[in-house]
Amino acid sequence: MDKQPLLPDNTTERRFRNPSFRRWTFILVLLIIIGAATLRHNLFLPGNNSERLSERYEGELISWEPCVPSNGITTECSKVDVPMDHFNHGASGNRTFTIPLIRMRGANATKNLIINPGGPGMSGIEYLNDHGEQLRSIIGEGFHLLSFDPRGVNKATPLASCYPDAAAREHFSRVRFRNLEIDSPETYAWTQNFAKACSDTMGEQAKYINTPQTAADMNTILAAVGQEDMFYWGFSYGSLLGQTYAGMFPARSKRVIIDGIVNQFKWYNGTFEMESQVDTNRVFYGFLNECFKAGPVKCPLSSIATSAEQLQYIVLSSMKKLREQPLSVYLNQTAYGLLKYENLWYDVVLPALYSPSTWFTLASHLHQIILGNATDVFLASGNKDAWDLGHEGSEFIRLNDGLSGPAYWPQDRQSLLDYMIPLLNGSMFGAIHGKIFFMRQQWNIPRTHHYMPQKGVKTAHPLLILSTTYDPVCPLVSAHPAQEAFVGSRIVRINGFGHCSTSVNSSCVAKILHNFLYDGSVPETSTECEVDSSYF
């Protein structure tokens, strides 16, 4: 026999109408809410001993709240509003950028060390979440580590974008660019629309997404945390931001570390600098040489060759084959695709050159491909662009900083190709910069900053300049103009491969950094440090 549906019991309704019942129900709900709030308070507040969810520290102008927990570290978050144009407040009106902040407090700290991870376009919020513990192990507990998303980047608002929404980005951002010369007609035409869309999407604020404005934003951050002097560590593009800050505000530059150096003179004054690529090939060959030196037990890729030169030849020949014929990868009816040369070379090989800790994995992937198995590297790469940030902060900053647009670039396609191809051919990885040439040519947002790098700037304290001997994107040669720019600055060269000092372990560098930050000590002359471990 089928069961009859249960009829509602009106006992509950009668109870709810009872005033005493309603009163006790209200009290019970209130206690549950208070308990939940207390639990949330205890779970997320640092040390579980603060009295408020939001906290303002003595001498500071902003309040901080616990960040969403990430990677098991405790951080606090806040934000500051900055004027659209620091150098002409009348032009800003009521328009601002909102800059999100993140801080990892030091147990014995009285000062904030501002961190910028580079890019341009990288998130300081994400970087501190991912690398805060590594930085803390080097610096110790004597500084709060403070980072931020620069204007136009990641969680900053407004976000630098050339598309009004995700659907438009998916639809309009794709352009064929496998072969520079063959695909240049499409890229040339696509870029004209891209430049117009960037200007239209961002409006007036587009003109003020640049490095000098971000440097001035850092003074707003210092004011918010009640600090006069700049203590700073900037990596890669962050070295450019550090040089820009020190050039604009030398009297406040008390401890500035620039790490993995960008040549600011070429960045601001040149149409396009390819100095960044001068050591990329050397790092790639260094990776293969170190693999061969390590031998088959530590680097199985070396087993296919009898010399380092032969290993180079075999690997590059396999890349040539992949360029001519992509490899198919089929797992099942919902997971399959092609491993293309562009995906492997630019989205797997090039990023791995930045960090020697990934070299064993890279060698394993190349070994498998040479043996005819592309599955693991296909899955590892995700068949996606490793450089896609989901916004155009990098493009806005680069193009607004340097010499862009019709005043500096030939406007026909062939003249541009005649200029750019010899530059791109200087590196095996040069073609990755192809699209930015077209963007520079077509960019129609005017440059509004007036910063011009100078030599012989005297800062409050000499800068510390760090560089590996072979950096794939910020070569040692770029460190020398930085030293010429700032009186008394010193170069510390780390004898090894990798992007920035943190890509390798060096107790020598850690000691110099610690002494510089805490005591102001700089080496008497430019010096060298060795790495502490092998690459394989």
Least confident span in 115-119, 246-250, 269-273, 374-378: 269-273
The domain spans of the chain are 65-158+208-275+456-530, 166-207+404-442, 277-381
User: Amino acid letter at 486?
Assistant: F
Strands (E) across 212-343 are located at 230-235, 253-259, 327-332, 335-339
Residue 181: predicted pLDDT: 81
pLDDT over threshold 60, residue 385: no
- Span 153-179, mean pLDDT? 91
Tokens of 4: 């009859």
What is residue 66's predicted lDDT score, i.e. its pLDDT?
96
Q: What is the dihedral of CA 120, 477, 283, 306, to 10 degrees?
A: 170
Half-sphere exposure of 216 (CA within 13 A, CB side): 18
CATH for the stretch 65-158+208-275+456-530: 3.40.50.1820
Q: Taking residues 431-451, report their average pLDDT.
A: 95
Give pLDDT, residue 175: 86
Helix (H) or strand (E) holding 170: helix 166-172
Q: Which two tokens stand for residue 423?
A: 């530059």
Angle subtended by helix axes 280-294 and 359-370, to nearest 10? 80
| pLDDT band with cut points at 50, 70 and 90 for residue 164 | very high
> In the sheet that 96-104 helps form, which strands lie side by side, from edge to edge?
65-66, 76-83, 96-104, 143-148, 111-116, 230-235, 253-259, 464-470, 490-497, 527-530
* Predicted confidence (pLDDT) per residue in 69-116, tens digit: 888 899 999 999 999 999 998 888 899 999 999 999 999 999 999 999
Give the least confident one: 154-158, 190-194, 429-433: 429-433
pLDDT of residue 8: 34
At 390 the pLDDT is 73
Q: Is the pTM of this model over 0.75?
A: yes
Q: Which residues of 200-220 are buried (b: 16+ CB within 10 A; e: fewer)?
A: ebbeebbbbbbbbbbbbbbbb
Q: Which residues pair with 337 in a beta bridge?
A: 329
Mean pLDDT for the chain? 90
Which distant-in-sequence residues (6+ apart) come within 8 Å of 288 by Cβ? Answer: 308, 311, 312, 315
Q: Which two tokens stand for residue 87?
A: 């150098």
